[in-house]
Structure 1
Amino acid sequence: MRTYFILFLILFMNSCSLDKTEEVINQVPKSKTFYKGMDLSFQMELESYNLSYKDKNNNPIEILSFVKQNGCNLVRLKIWHTPLDGQNTLAKVKAYALKLKAQQIDFLLDFHYSDYWADPSNQTPPQAWQNLTQDQIRQEIYLYTKNVLSELSNQGTMPKIIQIGNETDSGFLWNYGKVWNEFNANWSNLAQLYTKSAQAVREVGGSEVKIMLHHSSVENSIYYFNKLAPFSLDYDVIGVSYYPQFQIKDLDLVQTKLNTLASTFSKEIMIVEVAYPFTLDYNDSSANYIGFSSQIITNYPATPSGQKDFMLKMISILKNIPDNKGIGLCYWAPDWVAFTGNQVTSTAGSSWENQCLWDFNLKALPAMDVFQ
């Protein structure tokens, strides 16, 4: 009888131990996704050129399946309101979003709120929104944002991250939301534009979708988000661009600035635009953004291995932001190669081919390994 009792006691204690183990496991927070993304907005145009991208062994590949296999887990797409050149319309974004869904790649949607490129020097409202009152422009941004996201949601391709405006250092939808020069007292109007856009995001995507605000500069973004802080805006992620040719080249200072952003505003951080050259040469007659050694970081030469080492450092910086606030990066235009061949006219070429992740023979570069 005593033997049976001891056996029962052992089984009971083991059962309790398993229950406790399950309880502990359930209390461990799930690991956060670290995004290793690419902005493939040019693919909606480049697909028509039937470019033969290749892997590192020179075998032809299909670009989306290839980047998925190599570890890319986020694709960023820009959208323009009524693009004059036919690029990046809602219809094209919807079609490409379905391709992303088929590859099970998450999707970041970048609203430019313009008919063309929006950046710190250009924030022109869509032609359809000209000459409106402040109240009318707020209503337009709400309705437009909600319509775009509703159409994406209805086809099962709701983005994981919504970026409200592109490089909005000086505000966006000028002069309604301009906060530059004589409009330095206009922060309240800018905040209300953000609020109406965020309202539309939440009504369609709820809390599952992350909202990002985007600044073009690692070093100057702290001032910007301090100016927005009194308005208690609804957003989750601070997105920044980091291009060494335009910004500080001290990567220790880059780390410090990103750490300060995360701790000051309690937001997640993403380097949502980044790139680096694998050469200072060019493959068409269009002038490139980078062509001189003075534009890059000394410790990271413009070589295939230098490009890879730079990207490894970027990932290390993000992963060293305290409290796991660094959630990833997005390589800008890795596919924007010299798409109509060598020595084309400057209006038809790429100004980015020496910063792509494919070389001049369209063979994948070593930096592609960083995404794995």
Structure 2
Amino acid sequence: MKKIISFIFFAGIFYGCSSSDSATTAPPDTFYRGMDLSFQHELSGYGVLYRNATGNPEPLLDQVQASGANLVRLKLWHTPDGGLNGLNAVKAYALELKQHGLSLLLDIHYSDTWADPAHQTPPAAWQSLTTEALRESVYQYTKNVVTALEIQGTPPAFVQIGNETDSGFLWNYGKVWDDFDDNWGNLAAIIAKAAQAIREASPSAKIILHHSNVENARYYFEELQPYAIDFDVIGLSYYPQFQTKNLTTVQTSLNALAQNFDKDVMIVETAYPFTFGYDDNLTNYIGDASQIVPTYPATPAGQKAFLDKLTEILKNVPDRKGIGWVYWAPDWVAFPGNEATSTTGSAWENQALWNFDHVVLPAINAFQP
């Protein structure tokens, strides 16, 4: 039997005409129900089939579109091995999103690999730069990638500056943990250059700053507040196994963030199990009742009810500042691969939105407007 472990998982795959004719522009009062499909470039190479409610194979994005989802989040790495999550991959998938009428949330990690509070390694190409050169590189790179999406007619609705940047990012230039707790000015200057580039390249895009924890994010935005950074949305991760299981606390925290900083709030990463079982030999991130909200069991119905409750919570944020949520890796089902075993590998299959037969689960209906 697979050993289940619990540890802090800071998740973060992927991937033409002018922006004025883009099919991905949404009204300003849109409530977003999204999916992070950043694994698709990799999974599609294994021929993974996703089945609709009747059990028949159907292209993933056709099912996503039919579900009522209106946003897809894709992470971008600077110079990744094999091109996974690189700009060309993001651009290619963005074209597919446009064909399905789905808006894009571009999640720029500013790294060649995963970035999260414990890992914020600058791209190899930037690691010997001076502070000023680093800031200029952030500006030019950000402007180039956003411009590239604009040029091909797939402008992002949102651009996220860094991924789960509780500790800062681009260490040690923008690190604010450990011995760098007086480094907030440097972090703010880097973020400001990225924000400037986004405004110049895509004035309609909303800028997101992302913290990994709904209940503990206030300090981060208080530290940045004196620098008057230009951004629009407080992005948050909410995984009950790592954070509060009291949904009243989630509501209170979101309300306070929206009101204290006069920003929209969005949960840009969340997920919930439909079972504690497993479908391969790789350790899962969640596997027992101590890791979930007691009111919502690890069942298909419980998974959907959790997402419905999250929608209710966000819609109850004052002044309509709760603008949506994004489900992280709903497509990361068990698949033949090299994740950690010689057979199959997904650490997430019991939190996917397709079951172990790859048939879509009832939670897909939580994406309906």
Match of 1:40 in 2: 37
Gap change, CA 1:116 and 1:361, over 3 Å in 2: same
Q: Deviations over 1:275-333 (max 9, x none)?
A: 00000011111100001111111111111011011111100000000000000000000
2:256 aligned to which of 245, 260, 272? 260
- Determine if the alignment matches structure 1 residue 127 to structure 2 residue 133: no
Match of 1:234 in 2: 230
Gap change, CA 1:268 and 1:347, over 3 Å in 2: farther
Give matches, 1:1-372, under 5 Å.
32-206=29-203, 208-340=204-336, 345=341, 349-372=345-368
What are structure 1's unaligned runs of at least 5 residues?
1-29
Gap change, CA 1:347 and 1:218, over 3 Å in 2: farther
Q: Deviations over 1:209-252 (max 9, x none)?
A: 10000000001101110010000000000000000010011000
Gap change, CA 1:342 and 1:111, over 3 Å in 2: closer
- The letter of the residue matching 1:366 is P
User: Aligned-pair distance for 1:50?
Assistant: 1.4
User: Aligned-pair distance for 1:86?
Assistant: 2.6
Tell me if the contact between 2:338 and 2:344 (Cα under 8 Å) persists in the aligned partners: no
- What SS is found at the alignment partner of 1:149? helix
- What SS is found at the alignment partner of 1:271? strand
Q: Percent identity?
A: 60
In the superposition, the TM-score normalised over structure 1's length comes to 0.90
What are structure 2's unaligned runs of at least 5 residues?
1-26
- What SS is found at the alignment partner of 1:214? strand
For residues 292 and 214 of structure 2, the distance between their equivalents in structure 1, rounded to whole angstroms, comes to: 16
What value does the CA root-mean-square deviation take over the aligned residues?
1.5
Gap change, CA 1:154 and 1:342, over 3 Å in 2: closer
For residues 275 and 224 of structure 2, the distance between their equivalents in structure 1, rounded to whole angstroms, comes to: 39
- What SS is found at the alignment partner of 2:237? strand
Tell me if the contact between 2:273 and 2:286 (Cα under 8 Å) persists in the aligned partners: yes
For residues 67 and 56 of structure 1, the distance between their equivalents in structure 2, rounded to whole angstroms, comes to: 12
- The letter of the residue matching 2:212 is S
- What SS is found at the alignment partner of 1:219? helix
For residues 296 and 290 of structure 2, the distance between their equivalents in structure 1, rounded to whole angstroms, comes to: 12
User: Aligned-pair distance for 1:70?
Assistant: 1.0
- What SS is found at the alignment partner of 1:269? strand
Gap change, CA 1:347 and 1:157, over 3 Å in 2: farther
Tell me if the contact between 1:286 and 1:346 (Cα under 8 Å) persists in the aligned partners: no
User: Aligned-pair distance for 1:181?
Assistant: 1.1
Tell me if the contact between 1:284 and 1:344 (Cα under 8 Å) persists in the aligned partners: no
Runs of 4 or more, structure 1, over 4 Å off, are: 341-344
In the superposition, the TM-score normalised over structure 2's length comes to 0.91
Gap change, CA 1:184 and 1:342, over 3 Å in 2: closer
- The letter of the residue matching 1:161 is F
Q: Which has the higher contact order (CA 8 A, sep 6+)?
A: 2
Gap change, CA 1:65 and 1:120, over 3 Å in 2: same
User: Aligned-pair distance for 1:157?
Assistant: 0.6
- What SS is found at the alignment partner of 1:69? helix
User: Aligned-pair distance for 1:31?
Assistant: 6.7
Which structure has the greater CA radius of gyration? 1
User: Aligned-pair distance for 1:340?
Assistant: 1.1
Match of 1:9 in 2: none
Answer with 345-354 or 52-61: which moved more: 345-354
Tell me if the contact between 2:72 and 2:103 (Cα under 8 Å) persists in the aligned partners: yes
- The letter of the residue matching 1:335 is D
Provide the aligned length of Structure 1 versus Structure 2. Answer: 342
- Kindly indicate which of the two structures has a greater share of residues assigned to helix: 1
- What SS is found at the alignment partner of 2:214? coil
